Amino acid sequence: MRHTIAVIVENKSGVLTRIAGLFSRRSFNIDGLSVGATDNPEYSRMTITVEGDDEVLEQVIKQLSKLINVIRVTELVPAESVERELAVIKVTADKDSRSEIMQIVNIFRAKIIDVSARSMIIEVTGDEEKINAIVQLLRQFGIKEMARTGKVSMIRGARVIKA
């Protein structure tokens, strides 16, 4: 089973290493990780996707909480939160295929952010399934390169996760 957790950490050097090290040392499987600033420059927020049953999740949360630089660990239940991921995809595109690709881009409310004679870069945001779906459709034209961010997630409604 996959779980998503939000981890608020002190914005100090070495914190990412501590967290990555903990996952490898305790044999936890990390599926995705994204890190970025919060509204408070002293803290960063990580969104970590973990594979495992409820007992594994409990250990992940408890072990993370033991790290001195970790301020807060919260599980984000998919049904109660919004999730987004961003991907940029470079596809083969010539004059024959360009318009068809543009149709797909429109359907997915994605964006074309670069065009050349033989390629296009497409930017798409959404949950994992949506990105997987557009990637699947674009494959027929030839994907030259792709970069995905890993997801960020937030609880719906007024509840907040803060330091």
Applying CB under 8 A, the residues found at the interface with other proteins are 9-10, 14, 17-18, 21-22, 25, 55, 58-59, 62-63, 65-71, 163
- State the minimum distance, in angstroms, from the CB of residue 64 to other proteins: 9
Question: Nearer Cβ to other proteins, position 65 or 116?
Answer: 65
103's CB contacts (< 8 A; 6+ apart) are none
- State the minimum distance, in angstroms, from the CB of residue 70 to other proteins: 5
Is the alpha carbon torsion for 145, 107, 124, 80 positive or negative?
Answer: negative
Question: Nearer Cβ to other proteins, position 14 or 157?
Answer: 14
- State the minimum distance, in angstroms, from the CB of residue 50 to other proteins: 15
- State the minimum distance, in angstroms, from the CB of residue 130 to other proteins: 35
Question: Nearer Cβ to other proteins, position 9 or 76?
Answer: 9
